[in-house]
Amino acid sequence: MLFLTDPIVLPGMVVPVELDEAARAAIDAARAGGLDAVLVAPRLTEGYASYGVVATIEQVGRLRGGAPAAVLKAERRAKIGHGVTGPGAALWVEAEPVDIAPADGPTKDLAAEYKKLVVSVLQRREAWQVIDAVNQLSEPSALADTAGYASWLTNDQKRQLLDTPDVAARLTTLIGWTRDHIAEVEVTEKISEDVREGVEKTQREYLLRQQLNAIRKELGENEPDGAEDYRTRVENADLPDAVRTAALREVDRLERGSDQSPEAGWIRTWLDTVLDLPWTAKTTDSTDVAAARAVLDADHHGLDEVKDRMVEYLAVRARRASRGLEVVGGRGSGAVMVLVGPPGVGKTSLGESVARALGRKFVRVALGGVRDEAEIRGHRRTYVGALPGRIVRAIKEAGSMNPVVLLDEIDKVGSDFRGDPAAALLEVLDPAQNHTFRDHYLDLDLDLSDVLFIATANVMETIPGPLLDRMELITIDGYTEADKVAIARDYLVPRQLERNALTSDEVTISDAALREIAANYTREAGVRQMERFIAKALRKAATKLSEQATLGYDEDLGYDENVSRETNRVSLDIGLGDLKEYLGRPRFTPDGVERTAVPGVATGLAVTGAGGDVLYIEANAAEGERSLTLTGQLGDVMKESAQIALTYVRSHLEEIGIEPSVLDRNIHIHFPAGAVPKDGPSAGVTMVTALVSLALGRQVRADVGMTGEVTLNGRVLPIGGVKQKLLAAQRNGLKTVFIPARNEPDLDDVPAEVLEALDVRPIADVAEILAYAIEPVAEPAYAGPLAATA
């Protein structure tokens, strides 16, 4: 037996073998035994191979280098048995020859398919002599064993073929391997061809461009968009002197450099940007103040403070122009405002309306989620793909130097390792500085003093203090129920009728239905959700009209007299009683009486990012050591307010009429809607009222709401958001609202109809709230957990 590591010998192969000591012993033993044949098998690390091939010794001699060698001709496959003794130092084993069964039809088909694949591979290699030899083979087993010569098969694959005596299985395996090899070769050839074609195309284009440049040079022509072309454009453009000087300096650099240099592309892009900016272009402001106010009133209901400010701005500019005092750019000639209010009150759409009223171009810049300072100031030109910032791009898009730029969602600007965009806005939004705004990409002074900046935000607390200080603050606190009905009637319903291909003759919605939608289907500060419900009702109405027309109308005969009049109806009136059919049941129902039906529950007022809302505060007591438990995802300020409220009640037990031992228990204060974060000091008076109600066992009036910060001595301090809180109180059906006395001037901003619907009582001491808000002794319906001690 002769072991070989490489190559793997299959039947039919003729291979030269260099003889080491063990191989030499095997050859000598075979010749000494008169066999002139050896059993060739792969050398394995884990033991003997299962199969080998019987090979005759054709010749023994030496290689050109002098090393001993033998030429072996493999003849047939044999299964290796156990070892036996024999002459010489070689290993002798028993081997059983493997008989080859006659090939059947399927095996011959496999052999034919494999032969085609082998010929295809050899044709790619242009091995024509080998192709002739393969074509002469007809026996399937011999054809399969030619894979021993295949260079694309690994030794492990060839060993697997040696260990597979079944011819059909061997051919099936070889067909799969050969197909994979052909697919890999095709992909490699395609990639090589694409690379070769790309290189040739680049070389061809380079030669053609060089020839074209030489021809243009001979004809005395310049290349389009070359340095000379840019010089002409810069000289003919209406640019400020400083900008023209900088642009010509870049043109000089372009002329000195090579067209193939990357810097040439950067300079061209920079020059294109500078030439596209409207350095001296401005629109003429409207001077008709009454017409401007009419445009604002036509587009938006209410929002009088914003409209007044726009009209004032226009009136002042018109008077300065009429007296020859018009400021053409320069320090402080523009205006910067921020509109703060809940979603859906018309802040974003107001910007476009203002631009139309002033006769200016309008551009919207969305700042929500912007975290890169370069988005505002631009990138340095040295960076790949550098662009100017959003402010410069907005001016370029507007095509004038005095547009209305709406900075939407300025309260949602973030900051990270790339810088703070809000800090970059400090220069943009400062009327005393923005006449020399410098973008990193342009690196030129840009005058933004004539731009009217209008920023929008939902909450004021997330706007950085220095940035807020540079803007004129205008708060939009939401709409009253009457405002919502008017907006829906005049704006929302007509718009949704048009979007749903309806007319006012086909569908009408009554004011009572609109009031019900505003009161019990939405309860929002704005009207965005209300518009969605109106759209839903009109879609259902459109569907119903289409069904009626299909059932009762014929193009030739008109309306069928046999069909009921209800079916032939082509108009719908949506009233209060129809809302359940079109919109389902109301989403909101009054629950103040139910929530405050037990002692320890008081109704407070709060402001969120979506406007004002009511906040129920619950207090209860359990047996245990004296402690305070707070739940409801509260911030530090609100936790401190709860401790202050409990301390106030404990220090005024005798005045209030509470036994000293009543509150020596585990007091638990809970703020429902625990998934919503809550913070702020304005719930202090509400917590005091809830604790006193719990201790006395008497419930709080269901129609009373309150807001205000409380001190340890019971003083009520002012808070913010009074208007939004009163609007929320009206929406939720409250009748009496307590506010801090120092917030009484804020009532001037509250709509008259809200003040008429509510009994607003400014108070300076929390005891005034306790005297009115807690039900008298004779009326409690529930004794409470502390009744025994109270």
Q: Which residues are catalytic?
A: 682, 725
* φ/ψ of residue 507, rounded to 5: -135, 135
345 is in an annotated binding site: yes
CA distance 643 to 641: 5
- Is there a cis peptide before residue 278, judged by omega within 30 degrees of 0? no
Nearest by Cα to 115 from 82, 84, 86, 140? 140
Q: Is 344 annotated as a binding residue?
A: yes
What 3-state DSSP class applies to 258? coil
Q: Is 575 annotated as a binding residue?
A: no
Q: C-alpha distances in angstroms, 784 versus 84, 397, 598, 625, 686? A: 103, 67, 7, 20, 19
Integer CA distances (angstroms), 97 to 11, 76, 78, 93, 559, in order: 12, 7, 4, 13, 97
Q: Which residue carries 């704006």 as its tokens?
A: 491
Alpha carbon of 103 to those of 110, 134, 138, 162, 177: distances in Å?
10, 18, 10, 18, 22
Pair 285, 360: CB distance under 8 Å? yes
For 582-621, what is the HEC assignment?
HHCCCCCCCCHHHHCCCCCEEEEEEEECCEEEEEEEEEEE
For 18, the enclosing helix (H) or strand (E) is strand 14-18
What's the angle, vertex CA 640, arms to CA 708 and CA 594, rounded to 5? Answer: 55
To the question of whether residue 348 is assigned a binding role by annotation, the answer is: yes
What whole-number distance in Å separates Cα of residue 528 and Cα of residue 344?
Answer: 5
342 is in an annotated binding site: yes
Q: Are 782 and 761 in contact (CB under 8 A)?
A: no
Q: Say if residue 240 carries a ligand binding annotation.
A: no
Q: Where are the alpha helices (DSSP H) in 652-777?
A: 653-656, 684-696, 722-731, 752-757, 766-773
34 CB-contact burial (10 Å; exposed 0-12 / middle 13-18 / buried 19+): exposed
Rounded distance between C-alpha atoms, residue 426 and residue 418, angstroms: 17
The phi, psi pair for 78, rounded to 5°, reads -140, 145
Residue ranges of the annotated binding site for ATP are: 341-348
